[in-house]
Chain A
């Protein structure tokens, strides 16, 4: 029997979704009508291959602003290296402030890219095709921004290699039982795999750019990046295998990185940090923030570069649905924190809850609930999922909300711990804010460079979509 099954099984590349999609006529398409291979490739490649003199003014303006904000980063980091971490607002009892809040915020944002390119790929979700490249690039840049904070918080960032277990003559050795050390491995693995995954996906497209480029310099640049890709059947076969294996490798990373970040807090005995729901709830929060950021960037880009044919209402709708689901999981996490804080019967847990809800920082908790729980409920309605302006505004609420969530966890839990004699307050100094805003400059600068130099939508995957649209049931 098994032999029959194997021989009669359809080829693995054929997706079942084809005719299901056809049956669900009330959904918007994944690519608008009237496109063929040439129009798809041309439209996306031309954004990159436009002559330097004809670079759109909007891009130049946007890049200039981003680059200006990047200078704030250099200033804040430079001054920090001269004066030391004393210029930050950190002190006892709040010894972990903006540095960890911003680290967690940025690293969470990266997760959307990995989810889209790895998990949705494994589950044959074709709608990921036009957003994966962009989201993966965002992942890389967000991880780069995130890495700045622990690195600079080291005080002497040039000694970062002490974190690795190398045979040091000073006899230093990482504490392997600390999740902070796991973080080093998790985040560096994450950055490496994301980079390789992203680059592998780029190879067929940079080869197209090489072939279409007119200028000698562009031909050489893309030619080197293309690693000799000729598009032969063997190349495609190996490419698909490599891409699937990388997707499989990336999938556990979606869970592991933010779970380990959550353990930084949860393995301690600090009320407000030590609770078992943290790992899944942090992962959901990361996906939530990540999709909000993808949409925040993608909605204006889609309008500016007139990419509505490839980034349709369907994409907005689906991404908004992912946000709704991950947002509800996050809300479930908040509910569990509240209930079990009380149910524990523990004096300190209950005191932490009361302080969180009604203490001096109570406003931050209620603002967090407004941003992360109340406002996003609008996403239940289709009109908020598919209209760009309301959706964009909701995304801003979520981005702020996810920052506040980390503020509540880090600052509000620490500022009043067990002994009232040790209570205190915390606020970020201008250098804290400068570094945070500065990393946004870094993020945006990298994004603008990416949009100018590389195709922001996978051209060959869009050609696959065009092909599938022509043959909705596969090739019988």
Chain B
């Protein structure tokens, strides 16, 4: 926030250009490295990063629909960044292609050896290359249509605000949430759980959904705080709205811990060979220490920091907390998805993990900025927009 004279569209354009070139270069570098040296390392970095950046794309739709159904000033200030994030579905569909075409290198059930495994044979009706591809196409169609319709209804509300436009958004969001949760659950099984095809856990979809909500909320707070450094959002991000966003961030932090502990207690207590291996793999060769780091960054620190009312109401404290949570989100996904890629149970991060993360992230950010530029930053048709709010409440940026 060094040059106050610059406008938001100018800032976005500048970020878009930089992110686009950096992202494209890094993705290409990661792919080239994978082709030349070791494919598994590339796919590990790529899949984990893909999951990380898919989270705000899908999570944005989830939060938007919750906002349309429940109302409230918190959703209104992050609404445009969320809509821009939801519009990255086509980009994520394109970025899925390496996973689709590389599935034989990623998933054990897609290799010829799977034919000799009786358990995998009994699951083959679901875990097979054709089914995987067809389902992926279906997921992206569902998400694309949902995002497109949500944004279209939102534009209609901008043009003609009123109860009818709000009702249209509500009617779309109710069934939309059901479809979103179901489609995402099965996508998480396909792309994540099936990395260890003998293992299963029925809470998996819920844990990924909550992680998504958390990533999206943290990213939305960071983006909104950045945009609110200038007009017009500076008057809209009030202390109370920031407080509400902080409360939701806190609630999802606790929810994340709750769901993870539930899974751990149940699997640890029963100690069944087909389930406990998942935790055993993640408790040796350095993974255990890494897992403790995830718990500290994803739960212990955010829990105590966000418990304070002061943190939730202060942009300068809340934004760094969001950054910590986002780092923790990546580490958490790494803990869940990376271990099956190596035969040796050892925690060995690689440069390609980082380049894939920054590469996909750069492309995602560039697309996000481009979409955000095309949207008016304030949703004038939102029921929470009211000039009264500006008189009454203090802006969070002082």
Contact = CB atoms under 8 A, between A and B. Distances in A.
A20 B163 contact: no
Contact of B383 (A9, A24, A255, A328): A24
Interface in B175-226: 178, 181-182, 185, 189, 198, 200-206
> Most chain-B CB neighbours within 10 Å: which of A268, A335, A345, A474?
A345
Interface in A1-49: 1-2, 4-5, 8-10, 16, 19-20, 23-26
B380 to A, nearest CB: 13
A263 B262 CA distance: 8
Contacts of A5: 239, 313-314, 394, 396, 398
Contacts of A16: 72-73, 240-241, 244
Interface in A228-272: 255, 259, 263, 266-269
B267 A276 contact: yes
B198 A19 contact: no
A438 interface: no
B203 A277 contact: yes
Interface string A322-351: 000000100010011101100111100000
A4 B392 contact: no
B119 A276 contact: no
Contact of B202 (A9, A123, A259, A340): A340
Contact of A9 (B123, B126, B244, B394): B394
Contacts of B204: 276
A279 B202 CA distance: 11
B178 A328 contact: yes
A141 interface: no
A269 B276 CA distance: 13
A210 B272 CA distance: 61
Interface string B130-164: 00000000000000000000000000000000010
B240 A4 contact: no
Contacts of B72: 16, 20
Given A19-B386, A280-B259, A337 B73 contact: no
A476 interface: yes
Give the dominant DSSP class at B's interface: helix
B198 A1 contact: no
B379 to A, nearest CB: 13
A278 B258 CA distance: 12
A267 B270 contact: yes
A90 B145 CA distance: 53
B274 interface: yes
A54 B284 CA distance: 74
A380 interface: yes
Contact of A343 (B126, B163, B263, B397): B126
A259 B262 contact: yes
B202 A337 contact: yes
Contacts of B203: 276-277, 279-280, 336
B389 interface: yes
Interface in A290-347: 328, 332, 335-337, 339-340, 343-346
B255 to A, nearest CB: 9
A473 B388 contact: yes
Nearest to A276: B203
23 contacts: A1-B398, A8-B394, A9-B239, A9-B240, A10-B394, A19-B386, A20-B71, A20-B384, A23-B383, A23-B384, A23-B386, A25-B163, A259-B258, A269-B270, A274-B266, A276-B202, A276-B263, A277-B202, A277-B203, A280-B262, A343-B200, A345-B120, A474-B392
Given A2-B316, A24-B166, 15 more contacts: A1-B397, A5-B313, A16-B73, A20-B72, A255-B258, A263-B266, A267-B269, A269-B272, A279-B262, A280-B258, A336-B202, A336-B205, A345-B200, A346-B274, A474-B392
Nearest 3 A/B pairs, CB to CB: A8-B394, A1-B398, A267-B269
